[in-house]
Chain A
């Protein structure tokens, strides 16, 4: 028998036999997945493989057709406010009149209050500092480079002091150096929180992350030690399913030390 207390302490995300279809087209099938606290995982897979769907399920933006999802011991909707979410910045309006501070403060939006307090502003400043953007609070968000915008959006996700950080393609359209900086910031944050990064860029991410979660209708776990060299190329450029067919792991993953 499991010990419920330990389960609650150690497991942040639990998917049990989850299936989801869009217009009768199965996107995810029978996904069982457990993500422990302070995991640093990269969710990879081909376009249309279900990465975004998985993310939306975890945030409770869509409901599974089958199976159940628990996040932080409760339903995704209830856990939402304890999740820091960084969307892709491409969908944001680049002419929107907002300063960095305005954007980061959105992370402090709450149902119960109308205006931001001194504490909200302090937390926002702290989050801006965490992502190495100190001094930029009053700069227009639109004046920033792509990498700086990503960092501001991470700060926004951070300033609600979440238990889980979900990042959707944080390295899209940024140069290599920026990417490196971004991940070293994430590595620091990982001491306090669980981090899930959706990425198509497996090769680079694997240097930092502890686990790779491959999503292509089904979900397969890999500890990063196993993913290297030609295998990365195969996964990235080749047919993921072909590479994976011989490989089945338990929901807990394998080779975890």
Chain B
């Protein structure tokens, strides 16, 4: 009964013009799911979630640098989001080139970039006057979403959908069999790095919603679930988008109704769903055997 009341209250709050932030958050969650589902699918099938993790932690370095320059040095146009985008794109290219060329040292180098990016962020913030709540960067706060963020997510969705529709077959080739695709005359290095840059931009967006620490979960869990049912790449993307929206919306509803942090609520929700599904699938599979 109490739950039902909470649900009703949530929808009332959503309709309330005073609670515009909630409507923003829900819109953001839905729109962002398009980018997450598509890019998350690539990250999952190309098995580069480790790279995505390194990129997301480097983002923190960029945010720290931007705060330092903006607040500490008085360079007012250097917004944290600009720092985040720059750090993400640079680290995507570095991490991408490392993964192509370093081979046996790949893990170590990427792990180092991951930690150093994060540590730089903290050091910059140490040297920046004033107090900053780190937790909104680390664990996200979708309820702080602004109008600018909505514009940003719409642009990113348009970019990702456009690029993926145009280059679908090339991305498919690069993810499934890079060498063969190269032999067909396609510049696979370019498309691989391109994919990583798109991943970087998506990660910046994700940081707003679930934070740096939880990025990988929301990027990879919906595609992992979609992977159980999809037979083709585009189907996996579609299912991922839908699942991601479902988790974000449900998670937001729960977090609002029970006064919980939005990012962790979303992650716990989709993580639990995935693990239960995995167990059920395994159980059914064994039964058949």
Listed in ascending order, the chain A residues whose CB lies under 8 Å from chain B are 59, 61, 80-81, 83, 85, 87, 92-93, 95-99, 102-103, 105-107, 109-111, 114-116, 140, 156, 160
Contact = CB atoms under 8 A, between A and B. Distances in A.
Given A97-B227, A109-B186, 19 more contacts: A80-B184, A80-B185, A87-B180, A93-B45, A93-B47, A95-B45, A95-B227, A96-B175, A97-B232, A97-B233, A97-B236, A98-B233, A102-B232, A102-B233, A106-B173, A106-B177, A109-B173, A109-B184, A115-B169
Contacts, number: 76
Contacts of A59: 183
Closest 8 CB pairs of A and B: A109-B184, A111-B185, A97-B230, A97-B236, A140-B231, A97-B233, A80-B183, A81-B185
B11 interface: no
Contacts of B232: 97-99, 102
A94 B174 CA distance: 15
B235 interface: yes
Given A96-B45, A109-B173, A61 B179 contact: yes
B254 to A, nearest CB: 30
A102 B236 CA distance: 14
B169 A97 contact: no
B186 A111 contact: yes
Contact of A85 (B47, B173, B176, B183): B183
B1 interface: no
A204 to B, nearest CB: 26
A162 to B, nearest CB: 10
Nearest to A120: B169
A152 to B, nearest CB: 12
Contact of A114 (B166, B184, B227, B235): B166
A85 B180 contact: yes
Contacts of B167: 114
B176 A96 contact: yes
22 contacts: A61-B179, A83-B183, A92-B176, A92-B177, A93-B45, A93-B176, A96-B175, A96-B176, A96-B233, A97-B45, A97-B227, A97-B232, A97-B236, A98-B233, A103-B176, A106-B169, A106-B172, A106-B176, A106-B180, A109-B186, A110-B185, A114-B169
A107 to B, nearest CB: 7
Among B45, B181, B185, B233: residue with most chain A CB under 10 A:
B185
Given A61-B179, A87-B179, A160 B233 contact: no
B183 A98 contact: no
Contacts of A87: 177, 179-180
B224 to A, nearest CB: 10
A49 B77 CA distance: 60
Contacts of A109: 169-170, 173, 181, 184-186
B170 to A, nearest CB: 7
Interface string B216-252: 0000000000010011110110000000000000000
Contacts of B231: 97, 99, 140
Contacts of B184: 80-81, 106-107, 109-110, 160
Contacts of B168: 115
Contacts of A92: 176-177
B6 to A, nearest CB: 38
A23 to B, nearest CB: 12
Nearest to A157: B180
A187 B189 CA distance: 36
Contacts of A83: 183
A220 to B, nearest CB: 28
A156 B172 CA distance: 14
Contacts of B180: 85, 87, 106, 156
Among B45, B173, B184: residue with most chain A CB under 10 A:
B184
B186 A102 contact: no
Nearest to B176: A96
Among A81, A93, A109, A116: residue with most chain B CB under 10 A:
A109
Interface string B76-109: 0000000000000000000000000000000000
Contacts of A93: 45, 47, 176
Interface in B162-215: 166-170, 172-173, 175-177, 179-186
Nearest to B226: A97
A99 B168 CA distance: 15
A98 B185 contact: no
Contacts of B236: 97
A133 B232 CA distance: 19
Contact of A97 (B47, B183, B185, B235): B235
B181 A98 contact: no
Contacts of A107: 184
Contacts of A114: 166-167, 169-170
Interface string B35-74: 0000000000101000000000000000000000000000
